[in-house]
Amino acid sequence: MTKDSLKKFAWLSIAAALITISLKFGAYSLTGSMGLFSDALESCVNLIAAIIALIMISISERPADKDHEFGHSKAEYFSSAIEGALILVAAFSIIWSAVPRIINPQPLENLGIGLLISTAASLVNLGVALILIKNGKKRHSLILEADGKHLMTDVWTSIGVLAGIGLVKLTGLLVLDPIIAVIVALNIIWTGIQLLRRSGNGLMDTVIPEEEKKMITDFLDTLKDQHIEYHSLMTRQAGQRIFISLHLLVPGSLSVQEGHDKSEFVEEYIENLFEGPVTVTTHIEPVEDPASLNDIDIDRKIKRNCSLQDNIQA
């Protein structure tokens, strides 16, 4: 995977946003529909979000340096958090603009051409959203997945708006247009909250999905035939990169070189289980030594200090 691969998707999102902004504001100017205005406003947010995504992708793909020895991959979470916040801003802006229209409904004009233009814009967003979500999941990129889901909220907004305008045309109830806009905005708020939650989890070093962790444990369990065991398996994900650490318990009779070869084999095998970048760290310990099990917990120093204090008090 080249460094430019994710940037291509960000540029695609920017292009889609520019196209849909032009189409949707054109539809709004023709019809005067509050629903179409809210739809166009969200597309402006999409453009800002896509530009932020491009910037954050550029940062996340920078190589590790002396100040960031584990790389810059967590920049992805800042992008999705900003995008989630922008979605919320767009949603509340839609509600703010729609409420006056609920109180004083306004007539709509040129509904036929307005609906046609809005539908074309929605199809553009749908196609790009599906591409971003698919590649975001494939490449473990929260930036792409968040941007794709953001575009999908735009698609659902458009569907709601089109349904509302259709009902207005059928029933003559002008108030349905802003009411539909508010309902769609509430759905957008939920999407924004979900993105913020995922960003928070990423910044808190959340573990990899259970099915991916099971791939690791299934492999490690096969090593028991070689009298190799493990413990202290820990995982975390930072953007596209996965970090995995574990302790290998090998026969104490092995030489340093033999133990090293075992750990190299294990690290390489686990890395090859995943498509994206993976960092695997192993620590070799003798399987026969009971002291090897003293560091199962991550807070080994705290555990030792507590045991020492207990012994002193006794």
What domains, with CATH codes, occur in the chain?
4-203 (1.20.1510.10), 210-298 (3.30.70.1350)
Amino acid at 146: A
Detail the DSSP E strand segments found in the chain: 229-238, 241-250, 278-286
CB-based contacts of 179, cutoff 8 Å, min separation 6? 98, 102, 164
Name the more confident of 287 and 72: 287
Q: What is the DSSP letter of 65?
A: B
pLDDT category, 308, cuts 50, 70, 90?
very low
SS3 of 289, please?
coil
φ/ψ bin of 220: left (φ > 0), alpha (ψ from -120 to 50), beta (otherwise): alpha
Please return the burial class of 297, using the count of CB atoms within 10 Å of its CB with bins 0-12, 13-18 and 19+. exposed
What is the SS3 assignment for 235?
Answer: strand
Q: Evaluate if residue 313 carries a pLDDT over 50.
A: yes
Reduce the DSSP state of residue 6 to 3 states and report it. Answer: helix
| Confidence class for position 280, pLDDT limits 50, 70, 90 | very high
Residues of the chain above pLDDT 70, percent: 86
1 pLDDT higher than 50: no
DSSP 63: P
In the predicted structure, residue 214 carries a pLDDT above the cut 90:
yes
Task: Reduce the DSSP state of residue 230 to 3 states and report it.
Answer: strand
Q: How far apart (Å, rounded) are the C-alpha atoms in residues 307 and 148? A: 51
Using 50, 70 and 90 to split pLDDT, how confident is the model at 3? Answer: very low
Residue 17 phi, psi dihedral angles, 5° rounding: -65, -45
Which residues have a Cβ under 8 Å from the Cβ of 302 and sit 6 or more positions away? none
pLDDT above 50 (res 2): no
Mean pLDDT score of the chain: 79
- How far is it, in rounded angstroms, from Cα 18 to Cα 49? 12
